[in-house]
Structure 1
């Protein structure tokens, strides 16, 4: 009995020791768990109070991704649109310099330059067919030449310049009197407004002198790039391409470019030639368009560049019939002060068509 009691007491002591050891062993685990959970509780408690800085900071952190997402959503179309514009611009530049036919660019440049050399031999005296004595007269005459012939302008401007010889004179002119002088040129009211307006601008902004810069000329009333390049090339000796209706028609027929916009035609054709040739090139092409390569029925059978022309056959190919289609002004060349070259005179010394009569 006593031994049993002693044994029971001994067992109880061992159990107590084991429980204490287990508790001691589990204590670090509990502490670690409590320590790990403490920051979470602190953050939760601070986030619960919106007036505390940490809560505001946490709230800001939560809203940042949302803002970024909205910004990204808004800028995506803009970026996409910008990329489309860049792509379109690149495409425009590519069209402007690539040959419109299957020939290589090198072959196109060679053919274009050979055509210009041939035309230079046919029209050695090519020049602007407007009568003028100074840059102001050329500027006004070129503005008046829109939608009419150079011959008609040359018949009109002597009276205009005799009465109003300088920009200051024309700037102060009575519009009704100017309209009466310009009536034969057509669109006389609009042209009167333009020439008086540009004269005022020359007087007030340029001291009565015609500016020699493209950016200044195109600011004048009634003056576009075509008119500006006529003045720059022929009054100031600065190269430029004059893209009028004849020029547009011929360079497309020759497949120098497939463009239809004058500015893009200017850029495309200008890339085929040295800049120093631009002004004479314009004269050669325009003269050919007026005399042989007409809009409705070109004289293909009398054309000196027929072997180089991809559009050969669009007009009359019979040589005899084609010669009847050649055009020239009475007296030879309107605006030319020199005697027409011998190659353009017949046996009796009279002016003949550009290629001469058989």
Structure 2
């Protein structure tokens, strides 16, 4: 049965916090972490907040050998009145459990998971940076820990949450990036683990990313793994195209991660009565739309950047320049609205914000 009590062990010495203008994504971590264990005989138990520390884990732990792990990524923001708040955390926990199911990991109680995240953020509230565009990144993850070298689901796990203060993704404003379309390597196929947020998917993407980074490309755009023609994702983001007044994004097909930001963008576009459709779209169609002058905007969406405009796509040595390399009106409006809601500066008509308020800092 799910443990309902979270024990808190506060550290005696706190770390020095980095200055807001020196923050790097995922390099510095807060004073505390959340841990909860799972064993077949007990279920999830021993939920606790403890000082941030290395893990002691057996070399034969199954996560090292068979990659049974999942993770999520979300952020905590400070509102203008200094309140800590989260953006759609329930969607992240729902997706975590979908990933758990695909990786044969026992589900967590989503309500309790949210309670744990809120409590940890409350304990570490002073770590949320105050500068414009900064936030506290939240990384929940689950790893298999059974000491056994055998291909089977583990019988023990750890659910861990760590926090990292992060700077503004765009230090000099929201600028379009260059993207290389990948033709050789494949990230995932339908029926595989592409729709789960598991580490192996990202390991599979590193080679292609490394190859294009030296040529000034920010990320790789993946095509489907069967026909190598239909657009799927851009690196760690979902992707959207505005073609002749209509916004198009690849339909979820079992190999595309269902992004929380993607879902939010679709809701916003519908709210604004901007035509948006989820369907298959090929690179051939996109290239033709560009030649015909119909490709008006392209942008990626994800937790880190929120909305990342694409100014250039390179495919088969052909350069597709989008909107003269400038940020489009729809991408800018989406970015401003999403961040406005996240930081509590704009109205939240969808009920997306969860306040951290009044979470006990001790047992």
TM over 0.5: no
Q: TM-score range by the shorter chain?
A: under 0.3
Question: More helix by proportion, 1 or 2?
Answer: 1
Choose 1 or 2 for highest CA Rg.
1
Greater relative contact order structure (CA < 8 Å, 6+ sep) = 2
TM-score, structure 1 normalization = 0.25
